[in-house]
Every structure is written in structure tokens, then in C-alpha cells.
Amino acid sequence: MEAHPQKDNSRIRVLVADDSPTVRMMLCRMLEADPQIVIVGMADNGREAVDQVAMLKPDLVTMDVRMPVMDGLRAIEQIMAYSPVPVLVVSSVVDPEHTTNAAKALGAGAVDVMSKPEPKSLAEFNQIALELQGKVRLLSRVRVITHPRARLQEREQETRKPRTARDRERSSKLVAVASSTGGPQALQAILSKLPQDFPAGILVVQHIARGFTEGLVSWLGSSCRLKVRQGADGEPIVPGEVMVAPDAIHMIVTPERRIGLVDRQIASPHKPSADVLLESVAAVYGNEAVGVILTGMGRDGASGIKAIHDSGGHTIAQDENSSVIFSMAKEAIMLGGVENVVPLTDINGILKAIV
């Protein structure tokens, strides 16, 4: 899966699925304010969305997760199995069930998530509209595949390899992961195949809309044998545990090898930033670290992976063919900081072999 250019002068054809007429009309108004975007259909339940996708073949679908007749999660599974198209989940963040279901939808093949707009002024309406339009323009260029989970079959026998003398010198004690668009599905594919006694801690920065991290953590925790939780300031890093950076703050490792949460200003638009985490991992763990960069837009994580590489640690990047968007990994590779460029299905086998 990879991004490819939109045809010149074409309009992006969008189907809006939500059981609330008010939300449907608001999303349509926001999207059609962009002359590049046209609404080709609306659906008030998941079954109708599945049928309209097959008939209208839109470039992108916005999908609520809680709808009658067929919910959004089941609708996404059907769409990805039979009429694959990029799906942007637009969900409420009012309770953990909504955010967990949104994370499940990302695991089923949706490419991104954002909270339902609740503008309180015209200026806020316009700001949210610009954010939504930008997401739609980007995500409509993502090429998705039929049966996305079929690509996540374990190929451990191919990836398990004997440890070399250099590997033994680099006995890894921490894995740090950077991911963005398409990342939740990739994270689930990797973490679900790791054993409960995995002998290293795992730290993750996942770019996701504010309010959805808690649901992501809950969903990942329910689908793997490792304990998954949000990072908390001062927490020790424990082998066999996954800590995900919380919303709106940077996560680092301290010289005492504990979690630190810091509210510093950096040039990157991302908060939490993968570079901030990975650079701290390189400084503290050196050649005991493994850096992993997965699917995503932009370049966050590239300099951090390079820092881990330069300090003697292992570095791994997800390859282009298995990425939803290849930008982050590509930037890291171009910087010369990546030791292994491999398909998603190979990453957990490599982790088992080197940790």
C-alpha cells in the first residue's frame, strides 16, 4: 500500500456515512467548501454505506463507528474485503467505548481517525473544515488492498536468523517504535505475535487524533499477550510491557531508565514526537536499543532512528509495499539510519531474533 498522485483536475469523490442528519450535513458543508471535493453519496447506516461504496466507487469514505443496522466497524470490514477504498473514521471521543471502537476500525483497515466536529463558532467551524479537507486530500491518495489482514500472516521461519557475534555484543533491552498513518494496524500485527515473556520493554509514539490514545491502548492490550498502557511520568520500563506516549506531551526515557513526560516546544508539529523519544533512547540505551519506524506521513522519527543507529543500536524500517504511506520510513532510510528494511510481516520475527 502506498500513496500515489491524484489525477490532475479530478475532484475527490467522498461518501459520508453517519446516522445523525446534523453531522452528515455538517461534514458535507465542510468538505464541499473545498472545490477539489464533491460529495457523491450519504448513508445513515453501515449496510447502506457498504452498498453505496460498491455502487458509487468513491475515492474516500468518512465513517462513524456507532450506527444502526450495521455498525461502522463491520461496514469497514465489508468494504475492505469487497470494495476497498480509504476510510476516515469520524467518531465521538465522549467515552472509552467510542475510542476503542475507533481503534478497532483502524485495525480493520481504516486509514485514519478524527473526532466528530463540534464547532462553537464560525472561526472554529472553518478551522475544523480545513483540517478535514486536508485529511481527505491526503488519504484519498492512499492505495488500499483487498483483505488487508491477509498480508499480516506470520512468516517467522523466514525471519528468524542466528545471532551474530555483533548481535550478541548488542543485547537489546529496549524497543522504541515510531508510527503514524496506518500505524495502529501495523502495531497490532507486530505486538500480537510477541510472547508474554518478551525480554525488553517497548515504547511507542503513534500519531493519532487527540482523545483516541486511550482507546488505542485498550484495543492493543486486548489483542496481544503483552501488557499495554499509556506512559506515566517516573514509571520504570519493564520487559514485556508496552508503553504508548499519551496525548499532547512528549515521552522520553530518563538517565535512570524510567519514563519521562516533558512539555517542551520543538520544531516538529507532532506532540508527542517520535524524534524526541528515539533521541532520548539513543542517549540512554545506546547499543542496547532497537529503533523501529513504521508506516506514516512526514519525517518524524527519521533523525531519532539515525541517532539510535549511530549509537550502535539496531534499526528497522517497514518497507514501501507493506506501508500505507511510506514517507516516515523513506526519510529515515535516506538519512542512512536504517539497518533493515523489511515487510511488516517480518518485523516481529526480527525482534525475537535480536532481543
Question: DSSP of 18-44, one letter per residue?
Answer: -S-HHHHHHHHHHHHTSTTEEEEEEES
Whole-number Å distance between alpha carbons of 267 and 113: 24
Task: Give the strand pairing for 60-63 and 201-206.
Answer: unpaired
Cell of 125: 467551524
Q: Catalytic residue positions? A: 180, 207, 300
HEC readout, 265-278:
CCCCCCCCCHHHHH
DSSP H or E run through 107? helix 96-108
Radius of gyration for the alpha carbons in the chain, expressed in angstroms and rounded: 20
SS3 203: strand
**Is 186:295 a contact under the CB 8 Å cutoff?**
yes
In the block, residue with C-alpha cell 508496552: 242
Whole-number Å distance between alpha carbons of 201 and 239: 4
Whole-number Å distance between alpha carbons of 290 and 301: 13
